[in-house]
A and B are shown apart, each in its own frame.
Chain A
Amino acid sequence: MSATWSQIQLVINGHATNVEAPPMKRLLDVLREDLGLTGTKEGCGEGECGSCSVRMNGELVNSCLVPILQANGARIDTVEGLAIDAELHPLQKAFLECGGAQCGICTPGMLMAATHLLARNPHPSLDEIREGLAGNLCRCTGFVKIFDSVIAAAAMKGVARDAR
């Protein structure tokens, strides 16, 4: 069986990692099952809800739609890499303070989408935030407090810091 598996090299949250997996195994499943990074969630399995959003070589992707072979050699950033030691990333701090997380299941993907947005555009307008987060569904908040969180984070020092 392992004859058909692929050796995959990844840089996950700054750490070089090797995994062996079937080439069509979803990046989402490799993160959750092989690497134990369960912060990345599955909501729909078809790229609609954005709960599984991670950054791959600096681009925002739905990890449920990426076969692991396609990620070979890539730098992958997940929610687990946002906080540095005990210090929350400004976006995490803002989501906590502004009420941007309710049930929390969309939060990791939403944080990655917001990180991606602020990395490209450190001071987005409300319309740019709406567009930047349009691929991430939240059923609890009505998005209002998520927008507030992104605006609050944009005003904090160090927000443009990339996910490692």
Chain B
Amino acid sequence: MLESFEKIPKGVNLILFIWAAVGLFFMLRDAKVRKEKIFYACLAMIAFMIFWRTLIRLISSRYAICLILPLTVSAAYLVFIQGKRRHVLVRVALSAALAVSGFLFLKMNTNSVFRNYSSNILSEMFKDIESSREKHLYVASWKDFSRVYYASRLGDSITSIRDKDIHDYVVGYRNVYPDVFFNVESRSIADDPVVLEMLRDKQVASLIDDTDKNKKQYVYLLSSENKCVPVSESRIAPLRPNLLENGGLEQLDSPEESYGKLKAHVEQYAMLRNAGESIRTPRNAFFHTAPGNGFPPEFNTQESGAIDGNRSVWIGIPDGSAGLMFDQRFSNGKYDYSMLVKGKTGTRICIFFEAEKNGSRETVPVATFTIPDKRLFRITSKISVDDLDREDGFRVGVSVRNGEAYFDDFSVTPSETDEPPSPVAD
């Protein structure tokens, strides 16, 4: 109740509230006013309005704004009656008090009404983002989510998070998207040294919070360390040493083994009943998809159109996602994961690993890319796993969303530096 009451002076302007309270005192002393019955009715109305606001629990001080009208009458009366004081001392004292509070009133006006901070910074910033960035994730603190959502027109690319989740998002999505924008309030990250360090020198915009001048919103841009580099098809050199068996996808499972794997992972799809037996899976790998991910997925190991060597994997899914995962498991550590990709422009590729965490299987996205054109690309990213609770290790995979692509020359190499391995670029 007290909390709600405290919001009332803030909502109606503190100076006005004080003037109104003093004005009310003078009104009560005025015999002419005291004779008016409407005065008591209005007093009761103000008392009830304050009581009502404490009763319904003011979430925002703005809910008290309706009180401005009756309080202004009282404040105006104070200003008026001040001009009628006879006693010199009273006049001097009241004049000084009014002058000081009037000055404060004006100061508040100039600060809050005529403050001129970068007016359309959000709209301008989003214009730049839209024109220069192809794929990104915009993460906004839930407090300012609606404004960012409205100004940005980013639609589904924008995610709202609570303050307590900022750390997980900054750390977890560090490399998942090519660009991740974090729109957070300064106080939300002040006590998190890890996040502060990661966001250091990454600020791209700032704006003053409109409700409290002490708070500021900042926008940070974290660009991915992962790389997607075009390579010449005639000069392909895979990274060495490759820990992944059959990364070149040259060896195939027998038809029975292939069908068994497909039955285990994509059995529910109608296409398998017709074409399942003709699909051959690479040794040490399996195709996968999930119910509800859209269908029909199509995948196969192709000899025609192979990127490198005799075979490549082709995965196509017009609406949904399907992928390839390797059977081989790796233990805790830092690795560089790389592959060759060629496919339809706009196809989204997601690199991930699957691990046992806290007793349950968890798929963790590592990086997402959008195929920019029809050229051949080598995608490289870093995988760092150090918190597995069992010795099963983790396994790596890649998935395709809404499109089609050829994959070849998968490699997993131990990472010695924090920099991703240098692919052979053209």
The answer to whether A and B come from one shared complex is: no
A residues adjacent to B (C-beta < 8 A): none
B residues adjacent to A (C-beta < 8 A): none
